[in-house]
């Protein structure tokens, strides 16, 4: 099945700094999803990217899907303490599969 | 209901005992998934139900694990003869279609002592 490498594993930023997490695949992806898990909480769906080169924004969050559909990024501008948590990317486990394989996540800490 | 409901929220059990974890998905969601998450780790797929199709059990780690979904709604994950390595948070999710993403429940934290 599909595998994704997510980097970095951890990121500590000063409040107000930007943050980016990356997901990379060796194979072409049909789509990619992003989730956020707050400390002690459960993953919450943020967005799905489908098209090559797609860019979507949600307030301070910018999601990109690479032109080759093999990588994706999540960028947060001017982090706030509310952004703390672990960000996961997730991809379909196989063609036409409804099952997702999750990356290992990037844990974001924001220093006030 | 408004969200995915899981019970119990916490379960402490003795090694060797059986446990049942329950998941009540969002009404109308045809897909239901079980994942587990060990402390500080990622999400490990366990099993997936889609409508009336046979479940995808490919992620179950051993034959001590089983799950059923009755009437296309509530699901129960059963772990027999629990071991300490079964300690984790068991997350249930449901979906009405992949484009909408998964909606996760709050999970059951299982501790085997």
Q: Which residue has the higher pLDDT, B33 or A96?
A: B33
Output the pLDDT for position B1.
54
Q: Do A42 and B43 touch (CB under 8 A)?
A: no
d(CA A5, CA A8): 9
Q: How many domains does chain B have?
A: 1
Kindly report, residue by residue over A2-17, the tens digit of the pLDDT: 789 999 999 999 999 9
Chain B residues in contact with A101 (beta carbon < 8 A): 45
Output the pLDDT for position A44.
97
Q: Do B104 and A44 touch (CB under 8 A)?
A: yes
Domain containing A29: what range?
A: 5-111
d(CA B86, CA B84): 5
Q: How many domains does chain A have?
A: 1
Q: Do B42 and A104 touch (CB under 8 A)?
A: yes
Kindly report, residue by residue over B31-50, the tens digit of the pLDDT: 999 999 998 788 999 999 99
Q: What is the CATH number of the domain that holds B69?
A: 2.60.40.10
Kindly report, residue by residue over B69-105, the tens digit of the pLDDT: 988 799 999 999 999 999 999 999 999 887 789 999 9
Domain containing B95: what range?
A: 5-112
Kindly state whether B99 is in contact with chain A, defined as any CB-CB distance less than 8 angstroms: yes
What does the pLDDT average to over A58-71?
97
Q: What is the CATH number of the domain that holds A91?
A: 2.60.40.10
Kindly report, residue by residue over A32-52, the tens digit of the pLDDT: 999 999 999 999 999 999 999
User: Which of A45-54, B6-15, B50-59 is least confident?
Assistant: B50-59
**A85: which residues sit within 8 A by CB, 6+ positions away?**
A36, A37, A38, A39, A41, A107, A108
Kindly report, residue by residue over B55-78, the tens digit of the pLDDT: 999 999 999 999 999 887 999 999
SS3 state at A104: coil
């Amino acid at each position: 099945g599909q595998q994704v490498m997510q980097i970095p594993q951890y990121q500590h930023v000063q409040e107000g700094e930007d943050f980016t997490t990356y997901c990379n695949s060796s194979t072409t992806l049909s789509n990619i999803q992003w989730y956020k898990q707050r400390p002690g909480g459960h993953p919450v769906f943020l967005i799905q990217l489908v098209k090559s080169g797609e860019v979507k924004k949600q307030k301070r969050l910018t999601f990109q899907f690479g032109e080759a559909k093999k990588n994706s990024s999540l960028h947060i501008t001017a982090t706030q303490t509310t952004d703390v948590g672990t960000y996961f990317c997730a991809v379909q486990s196989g063609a036409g599969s409804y099952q997702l394989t999750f990356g290992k996540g990037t844990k974001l800490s924001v220093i006030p | 209901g408004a969200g995915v409901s899981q019970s119990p929220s916490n379960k402490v059990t003795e090694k060797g005992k059986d446990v049942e974890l329950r998941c009540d998905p969002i009404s109308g969601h045809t897909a239901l998934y079980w994942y587990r998450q060990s402390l500080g780790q990622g999400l490990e797929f366990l099993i997936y139900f889609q409508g009336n199709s046979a479940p995808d059990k490919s992620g179950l780690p051993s034959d001590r694990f089983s799950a059923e979904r009755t009437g296309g709604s509530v699901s129960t994950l059963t772990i027999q003869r629990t071991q300490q390595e079964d300690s984790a948070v068991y997350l249930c999710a449901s979906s009405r279609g992949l484009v909408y993403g998964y909606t996760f429940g709050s999970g059951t934290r299982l501790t085997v002592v």
